[in-house]
A and B are shown apart, each in its own frame.
Chain A
Amino acid sequence: MKMCPSQFVNYMHEYLDGDISREHEQELKHHLQACQDCQQHMHELSDTIAFIKSAAHIAAPPSFEDKVIKRLPKRKNSVGIKRWFRQHPVLVAAAVFCLFMSATLLGSFPNDDQFSVTKQPNLVVNGQTVIVPAGEVVKGDIVVKNGDIVIEGEVDGNVTVINGNYMASTAVVTGQVKEIDEAFGWLWYKIKKGFSDFTNMFE
């Protein structure tokens, strides 16, 4: 074994790592010139590095990429949805908002089963059926809720039937006839109304 102080071996490694200080390098140089054993040691270390660095590059087998891709787990749908939720908080908020809004719109849908009709002097009400008798002329609009309307005479205005049927064979209606009987129709009606209110706000 060598008798030299072990610091010189440390200096050799510092030198090989490329982070030796100028002073240490000088010291090492002087020492190596004087000491055969350490010179030998340094040589062996350099040879060792040269030896290991002469290792050839090794390439992965040709099918490697395909095998990896085949082994990849399929992303679960729920994971994808969760991730989507996390990545699009604004859209999620908008969706929740729409959900609540439509709930309130539908909530205002008249789901009371009460029958009602616009008061007009010459209408005949028979149970839940409103009749415009033959030969009579009704002046003004008629709105029937939760009931049917049979027009045998004439109506000089709009007829709106909510949750009911409009039955007319030979009727004469000068205005528009509207039947609103499903929730979607009601919603559409509300949306149209809401939209026109909205545009009115800017005018």
Chain B
Amino acid sequence: MDALVNKRIKQVLKGDQNAYADIVNLYQHKLYQVCFRMLSNKQEAEDIAQEAFIRAYINLHSYDQNRKFSTWLYRIATNLCIDRIRKKKPDYYLDAEVAGTEGLDMYSQIAADGQLPEEAVEQMELQDRIQYEISRLPDKYRSVIVLKYIEELSLLEISEILDMPLGTVKTRIHRGREALRKQLNNV
């Protein structure tokens, strides 16, 4: 598949806009899914995923063809999602530093502001419930959890996508799992 993608990319670089349609076709579902899981809103997810493809098109000449195209694409999309999330939120989320696992409580308390009543959560369909729980995760854990368990990417790939050391990715996944566990057992 990588060979095909690289061929299409070369065609696009030569000015063949139609070749880009194939690239969009190949990755649209993956990218849309990441955006939706991150943003929990269909309209926003579509906007951001489209924006990601357009940015990739504009900056295609800067893509290094020796690396995996999907990694590059995911990176553009996750950055756009994180930007969007930050614009929507008050900044105390960013300032809250988590030291050790105790910090998790603080995060989940803040996240709990938008919490639904227990009965409402219990009556949710499984799929809605999953998305609800993901949306309650602090965004730095949300991105790693989505990439790891929804997109099923390796830790190494996630560290490339998010441009952070492998150790940081692991820490965030550990804390993300703990945060999710607490969310699920509180109900």
Contact = CB atoms under 8 A, between A and B. Distances in A.
A69 to B, nearest CB: 5
B39 to A, nearest CB: 12
Interface in B137-160: 145, 149-150, 155
A84 to B, nearest CB: 9
Given A44-B181, A45-B181, A72 B32 contact: no
B177 A13 contact: yes
Contacts of B134: 52, 55
B150 A71 contact: no
Given A64-B46, A69-B20, A54 B180 contact: no
A11 B13 CA distance: 48
Contacts of A65: 21, 24-25, 28
A202 interface: no
B166 to A, nearest CB: 10
B54 to A, nearest CB: 6
Given A48-B180, A68-B54, A61 B46 contact: yes
Q: Interface residue tally of chain A, by bracket?
A: 20 to 34
Contacts, number: 104
Contact of B49 (A13, A53, A64): A64
A60 B52 CA distance: 14
Contact of B170 (A17, A73, A80): A17
B24 A45 contact: no
A22 interface: no
Interface in A34-90: 41, 44-45, 47-49, 51-61, 64-65, 67-69, 71-73, 75, 80, 83
B33 A69 contact: no
Contacts of A68: 24, 28, 50, 53-54
Q: Interface residue tally of chain B, by bracket?
A: 35 or more
A69 B181 contact: no
Nearest to B134: A52
A101 interface: no
Contact of A16 (B15, B33, B101, B177): B177
Interface in A100-116: none
B58 interface: yes
Interface in A1-50: 6, 9-10, 13, 16-17, 41, 44-45, 47-49
A55 to B, nearest CB: 5
18 contacts: A16-B177, A44-B181, A48-B180, A51-B130, A52-B149, A54-B126, A55-B134, A55-B149, A59-B32, A60-B33, A64-B24, A64-B46, A65-B24, A69-B17, A69-B20, A71-B50, A80-B15, A83-B15
Interface of B: 13, 15, 17, 20-21, 24-25, 28-29, 31-33, 36-37, 42, 46, 49-50, 53-54, 57-58, 61, 101, 126-127, 130-131, 133-134, 145, 149-150, 155, 170, 173-174, 177-178, 180-181, 184-185
Given A17-B170, A58-B33, A72-B54, 4 more contacts: A9-B178, A55-B150, A69-B24, A83-B13
Interface of A: 6, 9-10, 13, 16-17, 41, 44-45, 47-49, 51-61, 64-65, 67-69, 71-73, 75, 80, 83
